[in-house]
Structure 1
Amino acid sequence: MDNSYLKFEQIGMSFRRGQMATEVLRDVNLTIGQGEFVSLIGHSGCGKSTLLNILGGLLTSTTGEVFLEGKVVDEPGPDRAIVFQNHSLLPWLTVYGNVAIAVDKVFGSSKTKAERHDWVMHNLELVQMAQAKDKRPHEVSGGMKQRVGIARALAMQPKVLLMDEPFGALDALTRAHLQDSVMEIHARLGNTVMMITHDVDEAVLLSDRVVMMTNGPSATIGEILKVPLARPRRRLELATDAEYARCRAAVLEFLYARHRVPARAA
């Protein structure tokens, strides 16, 4: 019996415009264990966001299926929460309100008003935003907005947290702080995470495995790199770590030398 928590099985995706069809993904097969942190990396146009959106239920694959705990994923649901590069906060709501709206939607019938309030505050504290709960999005920085987006996603208690280049629009220092926060949250919650990134260092730092996509069109998984670095991971120590350097070099080599030729995924 296959007890994999999350499974992509023979996923293919084509988009049609009139008489023209473009195959974006072909024969994508991947299993992800519960509590695993997996990053997708590849050149622009390799179908990373398409694959994430299929898992999120925002797109329906042309061929193949996605299974979560043995059940087919075919529509959006609170068991899969997405954090986009653009924070997607509602500007007329406070920081608190942007998290509360998700909590009320998911737990409106199962938690009391007081319990929902406590749960909102708990998740804002997880991302160190409780002190800014009454501010509106235009009153906080880009990094703080993204923290609120992460809090909102976590507050849904999803089985899988999906992150589409969540730190891509941030400056280097803010990005580093948020990466550290995500590592701490993942260690504390043990949640399953699938993240898209273009950043090789970010992929190696955060992930248990890095899934490397071949170039599109008809992109597929080229290689999968296991990152055997002990947790918790501290970036200053890893800067001189030989295993970190090996993993980083392996991803770089794939992206710049072997991204066109699919190898057998491990």
Structure 2
Amino acid sequence: MKYLQIDRVCKSYPGKGRVTEVLSDIRLTIDKGEFVSIIGHSGCGKSTLLNLIAGLTDITTGVIKLEGREVNAPGPDRAVVFQNHSLLPWLSVYDNVKLAVTKVFGSTKSRAERHDWIMQTLELVQMTHAIGQRPGEISGGMRQRVGIARALAMEPKILLLDEPFGALDALTRAHLQDAVMDIHARLKNTMIMITHDVDEAVLLADRIVMMTNGPAATIGEVLPVAIPRPRDRIVLASNPDYVRTREAVLRFLYERHRFVEAAE
């Protein structure tokens, strides 16, 4: 059975006298434990595709199946981490994660088991030292770590990351990229990340899905990243496979951008 199957998916929105097709004929299969990055120019429907997988947006035509079951609504088996951490500002770090754990495991885990699980997920993102602090009392990078912990605490089958590091400075972004790689290595979970950053896509992913420009965007190319794990960003800078993959993504994006400019 295919783990995640996206089959002939289209998404369109009705407008003033016309229908705008955002995504057209999206076909993609993702294996269990795979890390997939989705990249493309602004307006190509990357976040729309992620929202369709999350069940936050209705599919116009086609179907998405997770372990053979149709995805047609949000669920804890697909947790989303957005660029905005979306933490509740009046709750502590601990209580923000507790909220998700109670929602998903309130009837299946004891209070002690839930507490242990909250602490384990916060330890995964190195945030146990800040359990009593509120979001306004910690840095942006720390808030995003808590957002990732809250998502992981639901034990999702798929972790969906919508440009989670886009608003962070370069050094904090690098630290969080390393943290995500470490989590993926430990948990072997399935991750799908939207990104504008070519280096981030190549560093993190097993495959890079490159989207054509919108409207009616589709998958232009799927590029395997043939770089063994674990990966070290400094070592990779001179790795021929890394350089070759990075060049292939840049070439795809540049050609698409040039095509749009020519059409204008």
Out of 54, 57, 64, the position equivalent to 1:56 is 54
Cα distance change on mapping 1:260 and 1:77 into 2, 3 Å: farther
In structure 2, distance between residues paired with 1:260 and 1:158: 39
Cα-to-partner distance string for 1:123-167 (whole Å, 9 max, x where unaligned) = 000000000000000000000000000000000000000000000
Which residue does 1:223 correspond to in 2? 221
Q: Give, as a single letter, the amino acid of the residue that structure 2 aligns with 1:150.
A: I
SS state at 1:76 partner: coil
Matched residue type, 1:204: V
- Which runs of 5 or more structure 2 residues have no equivalent in the other structure? 260-264
Corresponding residue number in structure 2 for 1:77: 75
C-alpha separation between the residues in 2 aligned to 1:236 and 1:172?
Answer: 15
Letter in 2 for 1:88: S
Q: How well do the aligned residues superpose, as a CA RMSD in angstroms?
A: 1.0
8 Å CA contact 1:39–1:203 kept in 2: the answer is yes
Q: TM-score, normalised by structure 1?
A: 0.96
Deviations 1:205-258 (A, max 9, x none): 000000000000000000000001000000010011111000000000000114
How far, CA to CA, are the matches of 2:16 and 2:213 in structure 1? 24
- 1:206-245 to 2 correspondences below 5 Å: 206-245=204-243
Equivalence for 1:165: 163
- Residues 13 and 24 in structure 1, CA contact (< 8 A), matched pair in contact too: yes
Q: Secondary structure at the match of 1:66?
A: strand
Count of paired positions: 259
Return the offset for 1:19: 1.9
Q: Is the 8 A contact 1:222 1:259 kept in 2?
A: no
1:152 maps to which residue? 150
1:129 to 127, 130, 148: 127
Give the alignment of 1:9-28 within 5 angstroms. Answer: 9-28=7-26
CA-CA distance at 1:16 after TM superposition: 1.2
Question: Percent of aligned positions with the same letter in both sequences?
Answer: 68
**Where does structure 1 differ by over 4 angstroms across 4 or more consecutive aligned residues?**
258-261
Q: Does structure 2 conserve the Cα–Cα contact (< 8 Å) formed by 1:4 and 1:32?
A: yes
Tell whether the 8 Å contact from 1:37 to 1:192 is kept in structure 2 after alignment: yes
Unmatched tracts of structure 1, length 5 or more: 262-266
1:102 aligns with 2:121: no
Return the alpha-carbon distance in structure 1 between the equivalents of residues 59 and 139 of structure 2.
36
Match of 1:200 among 198, 206, 217: 198
